[in-house]
Homo-oligomer: A and B are copies of this chain.
Amino acid sequence: MPGGARAARRISPNLALDQLVAERQARGERITHLGFGESRLPVFPPLAERLAAGASRNAYGPVAGDPGVRAAVAGYFARRGLETDPAQVIVAPGSKALLLALQLVEPGDVFLPAPCWVTYQPQATLAGKRAFGVPVPAHCGGVPEPGALRTAVRAARAAGHHPRLVVLTLPDNPTGTLAPPRTVREVCAVAEEEDLLVVSDEIYRDILHESAPPFLSPAEVVPERTIVVTGLSKSLALGGWRIGVARFPAGPAGERLCADVASVASEVWSTLAGPMQAVAEYAFAEPPELLERLRRDAHLHGAVAGAVHDIVIAAGAECRQPTGGFYVYPDFGPVRDRLAGKGIVDGESLQRHLIEESGIAVLAGVHFGDAPDALRFRAATSMLYGRTRDEQRAAQEAEKPLELPHIADSLAAIRRGFTALTAG
């Protein structure tokens, strides 16, 4: 095909790693896969029933979603202290699509926590924006350190850029921590001072561990400038079903932004698939059996993330205690000298060593916008629940999931790997 020579773009590094691991496993290699942010659990059966029942929804329907699903989502937010009109809601094939649409319609540059989810920065580039990473505080990820954010915004403005958006992830991917209310308020105060919109990515909101601080959404603090996005991929293990949601501010400016995103939606994805809208209508209504499923799954996520946290600490890393989601984000900086003797000098060589020497797949911090030389990576602990549906179901139902043989075995392999990593 004619055209100038140009390097191919890469696919998102987390999806690329997942494909690589699947290929190696298919060749018979034994890999402990901590590299992909997916909750490997079965579909909750009532969701499958709604999907099947939604088959007759084959007409295009409204771009933003049918009235029923938008009302259900509005109720979901209202139960969390955010009164919401269904007109403030758009459903879409994943929150990714909504995040991109937001970036396409709102001019100005974007400020991200460093580290942060792999997709924010490439989306900013696709939308023709500059993205600025601001380091997270020591006590949590998912938010830029507030003072550093203020400094970075002012410096960017002085340099001729146009700061407009700040993205928060509550709870966070990749650090697995939830910013406490005080920190959220401080970041919101900076957003207010500097006239930034806040994009609050709350896709892990319904996976809080017992150790989590109270959840405070920026939409409670600066409602007129906060857009919340969420979805069912994480809390209900429906990544492959692609169901996302955005909630826009009330009032004329919020209505305009919502209409702008709907406009982009109409040109890019038309609408969320009708059967998926039927699923979302059920899930966001949160019937008791679903809440019970969420409660049990959150218990599992917390137990396994906590166990991996303890392992990396024992191996000599520093690591924030996970409080939400299903990740840990250790820092092997304290044992840098020992690792250097094995040729491990940065995140990439650490990632490579772990998969080659111990068959442990993780994603280096550099892929999340962290410093390349940082000896940090994300371990997605949600991949440990089992290879088969039976194992996964047993994990969901267990009061003490760490005692299940298949989980205990995986944890033992991880313990061996990290012990070997930092052994003298």
Chain A: residues with CB nearer than 8 A to chain B? 1-3, 6-12, 15-16, 18-19, 36, 38, 40, 42-43, 47-48, 51-52, 55-63, 93-94, 96-97, 100, 104-106, 119, 122-123, 126, 128, 164, 195, 197, 224-225, 237-242, 249, 251, 253-257, 259-260, 262-276, 389
Residues of B within 8 A of A253 (CB): 1-3
By beta carbon, the residue of chain B nearest A13 is B266
Residue pairs across A and B with Cβ atoms less than 8 A apart, 14 shown, are A1-B224, A2-B197, A7-B256, A11-B259, A11-B266, A12-B63, A12-B263, A12-B266, A15-B60, A15-B62, A15-B63, A61-B240, A94-B270, A268-B268
Bound Cα distance A282, B271 (Å): 23
With a 10 A CB-CB cut-off, give which of A60, A62, A122 has the most chain B CB atoms: A60
Which of A11, A19, A36 has the most B CB atoms < 10 Å from its CB?
A11
Known: A15-B266, A267-B126, A269-B93. A240 touches B274 (CB 8 A): yes
Is A241 touching B3 in the complex (CB atoms < 8 A)?
Answer: no
CB closest chain-B residue, reference A191: B2
Apart from A2-B225, A11-B265, what 6 extra A-B contacts exist at CB < 8 Å? A8-B259, A15-B60, A36-B60, A42-B58, A56-B389, A240-B274
B residues in contact with A94, CB < 8 Å: 269-270
Asked whether A43 lies within 8 Å of B15 as measured between CB atoms, the reply is no
Contacts of A38 in B (CB 8 A): 59-60
From residue A309, how far is it (CB to closest CB) to chain B in Å? 25
For A56, A96, A241, the residue with the greatest tally of chain B CB atoms inside 10 Å of its CB is A241
Contact B55 A48, beta carbon cutoff 8 Å: yes
Select A267's contact among B47, B123, B242, beta carbons within 8 Å: B123
Once A1-B224, A2-B224, A96-B270 are accepted as A-B contacts, the answer to whether A8 and B256 lie under 8 Å apart by CB is yes
Enumerate chain B residues within 8 angstroms of A389, measured Cβ to Cβ.
56
Closest 7 CB pairs of A and B: A9-B263, A1-B253, A52-B52, A12-B266, A48-B55, A240-B274, A8-B259
Question: Contact partner of A56 among B42, B239, B249, B275, CB < 8 A?
Answer: B42
Query: Chain B contacts of A276 at CB under 8 A?
Result: 273
B97 touches A269 (CB 8 A): yes
Q: Are B271 and A240 in contact (CB under 8 A)?
A: yes
Contact (Cβ within 8 A) B249 A1 = yes
For residue A2, give the distance in angstroms from its CB to the closest CB of chain B. Answer: 5
* B60 and A18 form a contact (CB under 8 A): yes
Is A40 in contact with B59, judged by CB distance below 8 angstroms?
yes
A119 to B63 CA separation, bound complex (whole angstroms) = 14
Report B-chain residues with C-beta under 8 Å of the C-beta of A43: 55-56, 58
Chain B residues whose C-beta falls within 8 Å of the C-beta of A242 in the assembled complex:
93, 269-273
Which residues on the B side are within 8 Å of A2 (C-beta)? 195, 197, 224-225, 253
Distance in angstroms from A66 CB to nearest chain B CB is: 10
Q: Smallest CB–CB gap between A373 and chain B, Å? A: 26
B residues less than 8 Å from A268 (CB atoms): 96-97, 100, 123, 126, 268
Roughly how many angstroms separate A52 CA and B56 CA in the complex, as a whole number? Answer: 12
Contact B263 A10 (CB under 8 A): yes
Measured CA separation A164–B3 after assembly (Å): 9
Nearest residue, chain B, Cβ from A44: B58
Complex: A259 Cα to B16 Cα, angstroms: 12
- Contact partners of A93 in chain B: CB under 8 A: 93, 242, 269, 273
User: Given the complex of chains A and B, what is the CA–CA distance between A7 and B42 in angstroms?
Assistant: 45
Cα(A15)–Cα(B265), bound, Å: 11
